[in-house]
Amino acid sequence: AETVPFAHALPLPKTLTPLTRGATTDVYEMRMREADVEIVKGLTSRVRTFDGTFPGPTIKACQGRAVEVRQYNDLTVNAAVHLHGGEVHSEHDGLPMDVIAPGGNRTYHYPNKQRAASLWYHDHAHHLEAENVYKGLHGLYLISDAEEKKLPLPRGAYDVPLVIRDARVETDGTLRYTRPSDCPHMLVNGKERPYFKVAARKYRLRLYNACANRYIRLRLADGTPFTQIASDGGLLERPVQRDELLMLGGERVEVVVDFSRYSVGQSVVLENTGALPTERPEVLRFDIDRRSTDNSEVPARLSTLPPVPRGTVERDFELRTFPAMTINGVSYDPDRVDVATTVGSSEIWTIRNVEAPLPAPPDFHLYHSFHTHLTYFRVLERNGQPAGVRDSGLKDTVCLGPGETVKIAMTWGPYTGQYLYHCHQLGHSSGGQMGRIDVNPA
């Protein structure tokens, strides 16, 4: 459907209220079900949701307090709920074969022993995750901690998640799952190219690339830089200035933007310079509509990261899309252990994207987004050079352009059992670009 940009106000996903708050655990319940929503102005789209909203409701957790979520599957397809970025026991990880059948339910337990970070939960049912996530099965899960709460960063109404994803909405409203070069609609928090009325002050923006199959490259149209404060695994040690943010599916980048540099009545557009020439680059328009006091600050020192793991075990991985979706020549087989390791093992993984660059876009399917469950990693090198700012901090998903190689370091743990690593271009993981890692007791 042809659309006019900036027809919707930016919605904010609602925060889910716990059913009960116990001494140690907050208990939630959600129903996965179909719902009719307005994505493109004037059209009704049938989507798959967590609890009726698109995207699903946000869970706010804090370090040291566990969360339990009972998920009812009222859909007509299997679903498995994975907490992306969550350090959770294997049986609560939402593994591809560990599904909730239609009509069933299951309770997932999340310990939340980890540091503050912007996580998300989404479907992971084997072969179905790309379409399920695309059709709406994803929501946010934000963990806070005492260290982060002490910082004078923008908070409350000035701490805003922006879940960005593409879509194809037909003229009858159908949300159709198809290749990214046929997905011209860019959505933020479930609405096509919205506007957001902001005060002339600092905002913390939690950016998510929730696209099933494409990268986005974000910049502010007037060139105003972003101050990046966090990545997948939470706060960086120090803020860094970024002009442009290349994000693959699954990646999170948190930035602070100071709108006090604009006067009331001005606007600035967040655009995707990774859009195809046939697509509109606009993603979201910020309309500066009021003055405001602002006591927030971005401190020069944000956090202390755990030391970079000193890997003793080295492993190599090669990702290919042609002739089949493989890692090291094989597609996912839930009964085959691709990597056996022990809890506490510090490792260096070299990951290669062996696709050759194309002379022109659309090249989305030649990118890979390498993701590990259970543990965060540090990026050591990209193409033989020390990792730069775009790879800083604790990561769980790393971008690999055609022909690129990255070296990452991680320590496996804190739990044992069966986990996964895979490409987070979900068409690739659905097609089998995924491996099984068993973390065995020491």
Provide the binding-site residues for ligand C2O, judged by CB under 6 A.
82, 84, 122, 124, 250, 371, 373, 420, 422, 424
- Cβ 122 to ligand C2O, closest distance in Å? 6
Q: Classify residue 133 by its DSSP letter.
A: H
- Cβ 419 to ligand C2O, closest distance in Å? 9
Please calculate the CA angle 337-339-343 and round it to the nearest 5 degrees: 110
Q: Classify residue 309 by its DSSP letter.
A: P
- Cβ 11 to ligand C2O, closest distance in Å? 23
Residues 6+ apart with CB under 8 A from 360: none
CB nearer ligand C2O, residue 82 or residue 193: 82
CB nearer ligand C2O, residue 371 or residue 407: 371
CB nearer ligand C2O, residue 296 or residue 433: 433
CB nearer ligand C2O, residue 83 or residue 298: 83
Structure tokens at 422: 């895979």
- Cβ 192 to ligand C2O, closest distance in Å? 23
- Cβ 69 to ligand C2O, closest distance in Å? 16
Number of neighbouring beta carbons within 10 Å of residue 52:
17
Q: What is the phi/psi pair of residue 187, to 5°?
A: -110, 145
CB nearer ligand C2O, residue 94 or residue 393: 94
CB nearer ligand C2O, residue 48 or residue 122: 122
Which residue has the CB atom at the shortest distance from ligand C2O?
Answer: 84
How far apart are the C-alpha atoms of 374 and 307, rounded to whole Å?
18
Segment holding 254, helix H or strand E: strand 252-258
Helix (H, G, I), strand (E, B), or coil: what is residue 90? helix
| H runs (alpha helix) in 82-221 | 129-134, 146-150
State the amino acid at position 137 in one-letter form: L
CB nearer ligand C2O, residue 84 or residue 320: 84
- Cβ 437 to ligand C2O, closest distance in Å? 12
CB nearer ligand C2O, residue 212 or residue 246: 212
- Cβ 397 to ligand C2O, closest distance in Å? 7
How far apart are the C-alpha atoms of 285 and 290, rounded to whole Å?
15
How far apart are the C-alpha atoms of 3 and 67, rounded to whole Å?
40
Helix (H, G, I), strand (E, B), or coil: what is residue 282? strand
Diameter of the chain measured on Cα atoms: 61
- Cβ 138 to ligand C2O, closest distance in Å? 9
- Cβ 82 to ligand C2O, closest distance in Å? 5
- Cβ 83 to ligand C2O, closest distance in Å? 9
State the amino acid at position 114 in one-letter form: Q
CB nearer ligand C2O, residue 85 or residue 190: 85
Please calculate the CA angle 104-109-112 and round it to the nearest 5 degrees: 150
Q: Calculate the alpha carbon distances from 182 to 166, 198, 309 in Å.
A: 10, 32, 41
CB nearer ligand C2O, residue 192 or residue 254: 254
DSSP 390-433: GG-S-BSEEEE-TT-EEEEEEE--SS-EEEEEEESSHHHHHTT-
How far apart are the C-alpha atoms of 54 and 280, rounded to whole Å?
23
Residue 85 near residue 188, CB atoms below 8 Å: no
